[in-house]
Structure 1
C-alpha cells in the first residue's frame, strides 16, 4: 500500500468525521431543546408531586446535550491537526458521552415503569394538603384546568382537603379550576354539573411516562451515533499512528534502524 493510498484513506475517514461532527452538533442542540421543552412542559407536575428521579433524568439529559456540543467543539479542533494525542482524547470524550447517554436511557426506561405508582401515591396527599396552603396552588389549578380533571382520583377527593376544612360554608364543593367553564365560585354549586369528574392521577402520569420513553429512545439513538463516531475516530487514530511509524525512523535499543 502506498503512502498516497494511506493519505487518501485518512482523507476519507476525516471527511466522514466532519459529516458526523455536523450531525453530532445538531444532535446536541436537539437534546438540549427537547430536554428544556419537557422540563417546562412538566414543571407544574413535579412542582405538585416530588419526582426527584424524573427531574434528575431530565437534568442528566440536558447535561448530555451540553457535553455533545463540547465534544463537537473539541473534535472540530482536533481532527484537522492530525495529532494522535488529540484524537485519543476526542475518543475518550465520545466514550464518556456514550456512557452517559446509555445511563440516561436505562434510568428513563426503568423509571417509566414506576412513575405511575409514584404519581398515584403522592398526588392525592399533595392536592389535599397543599391547596391554598402554599405556592403549589397555582400548579394544582393549572393541572386541573389544562388536563380537564378534578382531584387526584375523583372530584370527591376534595371533601377531605385542608382547603375545604377552612371553608365550612362551601362543604362538598371543589376549586373553580375543576369547572369546565371557569367562573367565580363555579365549583360551589349544590349540583355541580359544570365540573370534571375524572381524577388527575392518570392524566399526570401518562405524559410523564411518555416523556421518559421519548428520552430513552432519543438517548439510545444518540448512543448508536456515538458508536459510529468512536469507530471512525479509532480508525483515524490507528491510521495516523501507522503513518507516523512509516515516516519516522524506528529505534531499537541504542541503534537506529534505517530502512534499506
Structure 2
C-alpha cells in the first residue's frame, strides 16, 4: 500500500509562491505589450520602412514580435511551474529568464550606443537614409506601380512637416516634376496647408523648406533611445523574478528533504 504525504508549506514558501505567480502575470502582460508594439510597428510604420529599401527596420519589428512571443510563453511556463510547484519547470523558467535578461541587456546597450552615435550603425543609418530616401523620392514618386511609395512619401512629408530628402530643392530632379504638362514645383504634400495644386508655388510661406532626412533620422534614433530604456528597465526587473525563482526552488527542495 502506497502512503501519500500531503504537501505542507511554510509561510515563507507560500508567500514566495504567490509573489512569483504575481510576477509571472505581470511578465506575461509585458510580453503581450512588446508583441503589440511589434505588430503596431509593422502595421503603422510599414510606409516609412518601404522608403528605405532596407530589411533592417522590418527585421527589427519582427524581432520585437518574436521577443514578445517568447516572453508570453516564458510567463506561461512560469505560472505553470509556480502553481504545480515543479522544480524542473522552475529550473527551465529560470534559464529562459536569464537568456531573455542577457538579450535585453545587449539590445538595450546597443540601442543607447546607437543613440549616442558611438556605434558604426549610426553612420550606416545616416548613409542609408541619404542614399535611399532621395532616390526613392526622385525616381518612384507618382510612378506607375508605385502607389504605396507615393502614399508613404506624402504621409512622411505631412507628418514630419518637411519637403524633399535634404530640402525642397531635391524635387527639381524628380522624374514626376519634369514630366511635360506638370506645373507643380513640389508635391502638394509639401504645403503647409495641403490642397490640390498648392505645390505650384514654392514660397517659404507656402511650403516646408526643410528636408525629411534629419527628421526621420531623429525619429528613428529617438525610438532606439526609448527601446534601450525599456529593455534595460525590464531586464533589471527580471532580476527580481530570477531571485524569487531561486528562493522558491530552494524552499521546495528543503521541504522535500
| TM-score (ref. length: structure 2) | 0.83
What does residue 125 of structure 1 align with? 135
Relative to structure 1, the CA distance from residue 198 to residue 217 in structure 2 (aligned partners, 3 Å threshold; closer, same or farther) is same
2:24 is the counterpart of 1:28: no
RMSD: 2.5
Relative to structure 1, the CA distance from residue 107 to residue 40 in structure 2 (aligned partners, 3 Å threshold; closer, same or farther) is farther
2:69 is the counterpart of 1:70: no
1:81-100 mapped onto 2 (5 Å cutoff): 81-100=84-103
SS in 1 for 2:10: helix
For the Cα contact (< 8 Å) 1:10–1:236, is it kept in 2?
yes
SS in 2 for 1:163: coil
2:241 is the counterpart of 1:229: yes
| TM-aligned CA deviation for residue 142 of structure 1 | 0.8
Cα distance in 1, alignment partners of residues 84 and 78 from structure 2: 10
2:162 is the counterpart of 1:159: no
| TM-aligned CA deviation for residue 192 of structure 1 | 7.3
Relative to structure 1, the CA distance from residue 190 to residue 31 in structure 2 (aligned partners, 3 Å threshold; closer, same or farther) is closer
Cα distance in 1, alignment partners of residues 126 and 39 from structure 2: 22
SS in 2 for 1:195: coil
What does residue 194 of structure 1 align with? 206
| TM-aligned CA deviation for residue 14 of structure 1 | 1.2
Cα distance in 2, alignment partners of residues 123 and 234 from structure 1: 51
Match of 1:79 among 82, 96, 120: 82
Gaps of 5+ in 1: 247-260
What does residue 4 of structure 2 align with? none
Compare 136-145 and 103-112 and name the one that shifted more: 103-112
Match of 1:211 among 217, 223, 229: 223
| Number of residue pairs matched by the alignment | 241
Larger radius of gyration between Structure 1 and Structure 2: 1
SS in 2 for 1:118: helix
Gaps of 5+ in 2: 1-6
Match of 2:151 among 131, 138, 141: 138
Cα distance in 2, alignment partners of residues 192 and 81 from structure 1: 68
What does residue 180 of structure 1 align with? 192
Relative to structure 1, the CA distance from residue 108 to residue 40 in structure 2 (aligned partners, 3 Å threshold; closer, same or farther) is farther
Compare 86-95 and 185-194 and name the one that shifted more: 185-194
For the Cα contact (< 8 Å) 1:32–1:61, is it kept in 2?
yes
SS in 1 for 2:176: helix
| TM-aligned CA deviation for residue 139 of structure 1 | 0.3
For the Cα contact (< 8 Å) 1:38–1:211, is it kept in 2?
no
SS in 1 for 2:97: helix
For the Cα contact (< 8 Å) 2:184–2:197, is it kept in 1?
no
SS in 2 for 1:181: coil
